[in-house]
Amino acid sequence: MTSVDFKDLYIKYPGDPSYRSGILVEDDVINVIIQKYEIIIFTNKGEVIGDPNLGCDLEFLLYQTKVSENYVKSIINQQISIYIPELLSMNYSLQVIFTQDSYNFQDIMFIYLQLGDHEVYAQIGSMYGGF
């Protein structure tokens, strides 16, 4: 692994499956990287004051007609190279899959990050949108 020694504010909330009560500072390198990763994939450009380029705009990309999985993957990798450079020296894999919920006729994007023994899954779009 890496010998990076850094800390970040603990940002998990009580509804998060990996929430731990009473924690203010996250000092585990993998958990800090995962927090940063979640921030870039769930943030749209322009939402962070002072850094208009932070974020992947994934919900916007989901509803475009000519966007490939490889293009989305390249956007995420660009964000990783800028905002999570410590991840570049680690063994990780990233996979993006588009599918459609045939019941609700809604596009869904699944993003899988494998980082060592840790797996992080994200879903953009809802399988339960309803009418």
Residue spans of beta strands (DSSP E) within 1-105: 8-9, 25-26, 92-101
Q: At what angle do helices 29-41 and 69-83 cross, to 10 degrees?
A: 130
Residue whose structure tokens are 């588009």: 98
Specify the pTM: 0.77
Per-residue pLDDT of the chain (131 residues; tens, 9 = 90+): 445 556 666 566 677 766 677 666 666 778 788 888 988 999 999 998 999 999 999 988 888 777 889 999 999 999 999 999 888 888 899 999 988 766 655 688 899 999 888 898 888 886 554 43
Q: Which CATH class is domain 8-124?
A: alpha beta
Half-sphere exposure (Cβ direction) of 105: Cα atoms closer than 13 Å: 1
